[in-house]
Amino acid sequence: MRPIHLARQHGTSEQLLHQVKMASGLRSYLYFVAGCTCNCVLCLKLEDIIKSTYVNVYETKLEANYPSVDCCCGEYDNITVIYYDREYLDNIDQAGCCVPAFTHCQCCPTCFDMCGKALVLHGPNKCACSKCFNPDKLSNTPVSAMNCCTAFCCCSKPFIMLPGLDEVDELKRAICSARDAAKSRMDAGHRPDMGGPPAQQVMAAPVAHQPMMVAAPQAVMMQPAQPAGVVVMTQPQPMTYGR
């Protein structure tokens, strides 16, 4: 049961609460990767990629974009959307040397913060021995954007890493505040977002379609012909309305 995700199906008008400033070290890291891999496309598109990289905190979700390039001189977006009722947002911690435990298992996930800091979103303790950590399998997620030194771990729990950040503490506070506020509104029976007047925030079951009211046909009264100059007064008929 995902109440926040289901509530959004009725339409929302949420606000952007917090926008993260990407670290300057992210640019240096991408230039380093482009030079080591002789990736001329990445060098040419690097500034566009930096401008398109973001992590935004909304009222009902966390949205991040870590763009990449292909061999055909084209760039594409890697957008990750996480609603606040996902288990990934149960715990939020800054990435360190194999910290948080049983997540990324990297000795140096941020190159000693020279490439910016990283935030790890991880769920409850769940053994995932059948799904060993492999950066190649995470090519479409933000965690693969920075694999400086990887130590493989066969037992891990679900996590998502957001690298290249400037202020992780401020981002953590914004995510936790928005998550708790959205869940509180859902528990109170309101919409998860604050969009619209208060009267429109209360969630209710959709109104069943009512059939159109059709008035019964009325008999037409034929009045006899009257001499010229004589006015006949008739009784007004009640008004009928159709929906």
Residue 51: inside a domain: yes
Q: Read off the pLDDT of residues 20-52 as tens digits, 9 standing for 90 and up.
A: 889 989 998 899 988 898 888 888 889 999 999
Residue 75 to residue 47: CA distance in whole angstroms: 11
% of residues, the chain, pLDDT over 70: 60
Report how far apart, in Å, the C-alpha atoms of 1 and of each of 4, 5, 205 are: 9, 9, 17
pTM of the predicted model over 0.75: no
Residue range 151-176: mean pLDDT, rounded? 83
Other beta carbons within 10 angstroms of residue 102's beta carbon come to 17
Residue 206: inside a domain: no
Number of separate domains in the chain: 1
Q: Read off the pLDDT of residues 44-94 as tens digits, 9 standing for 90 and up.
A: 889 999 999 999 999 999 999 999 888 776 788 999 999 999 988 999 999
| Residue 171 pLDDT > 90 | yes
Residue 55: inside a domain: yes
Structural domain containing residue 75? 13-188
Residue 235: inside a domain: no
User: Which contacts qualify for 175-178: CB closer than 8 Å, 24 or more apart?
Assistant: 175/18, 175/57, 175/62, 175/89, 175/92, 176/92, 177/17, 178/17, 178/18, 178/57, 178/58, 178/59, 178/60, 178/84
Report how far apart, in Å, the C-alpha atoms of 171 and of each of 15, 28, 181 are: 16, 22, 15
Residue range 126-133: mean pLDDT, rounded? 44
What SS3 class is residue 230? coil
Residue 203: inside a domain: no
b/e map of 72-100 (b: 16 or more CB within 10 Å)? Answer: eeebeebebebbbbbebbebbbbbbebeb
Q: What is the pLDDT of residue 190?
A: 80
Residue 213: inside a domain: no
Residue 207: inside a domain: no
Q: What is the pLDDT of residue 140?
A: 41
Residue with tokens 């509530």: 7
Q: Read off the pLDDT of residues 86-122 as tens digits, 9 standing for 90 and up.
A: 988 999 999 999 889 888 888 888 888 888 999 999 9
Phi, psi (deg, nearest 5) at residue 36: -70, -30
Residue 64: inside a domain: yes
